[in-house]
Amino acid sequence: MDNKFFLNSLAEKWDSICYHPSEKVNYVINKMGLKNGDSILDIGSGTGVTIPYLEERIGTNGKITALDIAEQMIEISKKKNIYENLDFEIKDFFQYTTIKKFNHILAYSCYPHFKDEESFFKKAHSLLQNKGKIVIAHIESKEAINSRHREEENHIISDMLSDVEKICELANNQGFKSIYKEDNKEYFIFVGEKI
């Protein structure tokens, strides 16, 4: 089963089966260093879990583009997230093109689904402003994520989440400077700055 079909099939019940405590999401968003007026590309945005948190920090002068491959996920997000400075795009991240350059790209709870990690960072680099940040974040441990993906291998196409040091190396090779990393029982977070 491909990812798009799988995610679309779960869209209606996604928010009831995936729990995102506000204190943990806030912890992740705080690591982004957002400022009022920033622009954000929220990739793998799904049902828009992070959008209210992002909106709160960037204000009405900022801009959020929610990008996801699964149109049913985006439809759920549109019902929940009604902001004038929010756009939705139904597209594969690797196929996404725009003349805009973003201050931040957020990959929240979706990074293992981007199987070509080198291309992931290359694409992110091309979409960011100078000194823009790529943020990869999960609100649980690498072990918990990888354990679940092993169980779901017949249902969804994803890779195992790499060690944060490997991600640092991949990012550095594609023009990013690692500015924050956390890999423990509670969180997996990487923040890289475009150089």
85-97 residue pLDDT tens:
999 999 999 999 9
Query: Residue 129, class by beta-carbon neighbours within 10 Å (0-12 exposed, 13-18 middle, 19+ buried)?
Result: middle
> In this structure, what CATH number is given to the domain that contains residue 72?
3.40.50.150
**pLDDT at residue 130, rounded to an integer:** 96
pLDDT greater at residue 125 or residue 152: 125
**pLDDT at residue 73, rounded to an integer:** 85
* CA 142/CA 140 separation, integer angstroms: 7
Mapped onto helix, strand or coil, the DSSP state of residue 50 is coil
pLDDT band per the 50, 70, 90 thresholds, residue 129: very high
**pLDDT at residue 160, rounded to an integer:** 76
Compute the C-alpha angle 28/95/116, nearest 5°. 65
The residue among 114, 119, 100 whose CA lies nearest residue 43 is 114
The single-letter code of the amino acid at 148 is R
Q: What is the CA radius of gyration of the chain?
A: 15
| Residue 98 in this model has a pLDDT that exceeds 50 | yes
Full residue range of the structural domain in which residue 139 is found: 3-194
Residue 104 near residue 132, CB atoms below 8 Å = yes
| Residue 157 in this model has a pLDDT that exceeds 70 | no
pLDDT greater at residue 105 or residue 161: 105
Q: How many other CB atoms are there within 10 angstroms of residue 124's CB atom?
A: 27
What separation, in Å, do the N-terminal and C-terminal C-alpha atoms of the chain show? 38
> pTM to 2 decimals?
0.88
**pLDDT at residue 59, rounded to an integer:** 96
**pLDDT at residue 123, rounded to an integer:** 97
| Residue 30 in this model has a pLDDT that exceeds 60 | yes
pLDDT greater at residue 33 or residue 15: 33
**pLDDT at residue 153, rounded to an integer:** 47
| Residue 124 in this model has a pLDDT that exceeds 70 | yes
Structure tokens at 156: 């969804």
* CA 176/CA 186 separation, integer angstroms: 25
Residue 189 near residue 28, CB atoms below 8 Å = yes
SS3 content of the chain, % helix, strand, coil (to 5): 40, 25, 35
How many domains does one find in the chain?
1
**pLDDT at residue 194, rounded to an integer:** 98
State mean pLDDT over 135-142: 91
